[in-house]
Amino acid sequence: TALTVCDALEYEAVAPTDTTDRSCSPLRRCSALEWQSQAPTATSNRVCSPLTTCVPASQYQAAAPTATSDRECLPFSDCEDEEYVSQAGSPSSDRVCTACTPPCDPDYQVELRGCEYARNRVCGPASCDDGIANQRANGDWETDIDCGGPCAPCASGKACAVAGDCVSSVCTDSICALPSCVDGVKNGWEVDIDCGSRSACGTCAAGKACQSHNDCRYGNCNAGVCGERQAAELCTG
């Protein structure tokens, strides 16, 4: 009797002998979750192995599986210091790391946002409310934190370079001084230089500015200016 011949979809499971026929078995078919890890031969079955599964959140598929190759999984790249994730990883792509913007210039920039995991550094121009005594691009410096120079004048006790840096308009030994009645400057509650009823500096002489009669030495404030002593006062004085 003629020996059985295995067809293309079979393999020889048992070889024939002098007294037995050849035994053929169907070749195994790999499922959608398997790949062929060993090809069949005339006398051996196909070997199927389970596809590798990438670990979510830590790996991505670097190479897709084929009928005869497994899925390749690689770990997501770790960004270095001074890098941020400019493109998040996906199941089939690695994350993209990009160099952060260089550190902000401390002289005339402030860091509005630091270089973080998924956000780039953002630098902005120095301002009068950033909590730093810094410079402007044109070279002007704040004399103290957020005051003086290009900002509003500084309160007493703050650093200064010129009188205009101070609310009191008095800069002594590079420090803004408190208003006084002998500093030669109209400041505080004074209505003119070192005088005025509300300033406790005494009344103002004739010709000085005033806001009320009480500001004037002779009690007559006319059109914002202290007048001379009245004739009646001269006669009775």
Three-state secondary structure call for residue 124: strand
Q: What is the mean pLDDT of the chain?
A: 94
H and E: helices and strands count for the chain:
1, 14
What residue segments make up the domains of the chain, in order of their start?
A: 1-54+63-71, 190-226
Are 201 and 181 contacting, i.e. CB atoms less than 8 angstroms apart? Answer: yes
Mean predicted confidence (pLDDT) in 202-213: 97
Q: What is the pLDDT of residue 230?
A: 80
Distance CA(151)–CA(124), nearest Å, equals: 17
Using pLDDT thresholds of 50, 70 and 90, give the confidence band for residue 106.
confident
Give 108's Cβ-side CA count (13 Å radius): 8
Tokens 């509300």 belong to 198
Distance CA(232)–CA(177), nearest Å, equals: 42
List alpha helices for the chain, DSSP H.
231-236
Are 212 and 203 contacting, i.e. CB atoms less than 8 angstroms apart? Answer: no
Are 228 and 218 contacting, i.e. CB atoms less than 8 angstroms apart? Answer: yes
- pLDDT of residue 232 exceeding 60, the answer is no
Longest CA span, the chain: 162
Burial 107-121 (b: 16+ CB within 10 A, else e): ebbbbeeebeeeebb
- pLDDT of residue 236 exceeding 80, the answer is no
**Structure confidence by residue, pLDDT tens digits, 23-37:** 999 999 999 999 999
Distance CA(34)–CA(65), nearest Å, equals: 9
Distance from the Cα of residue 58 to its chain's centroid: 26
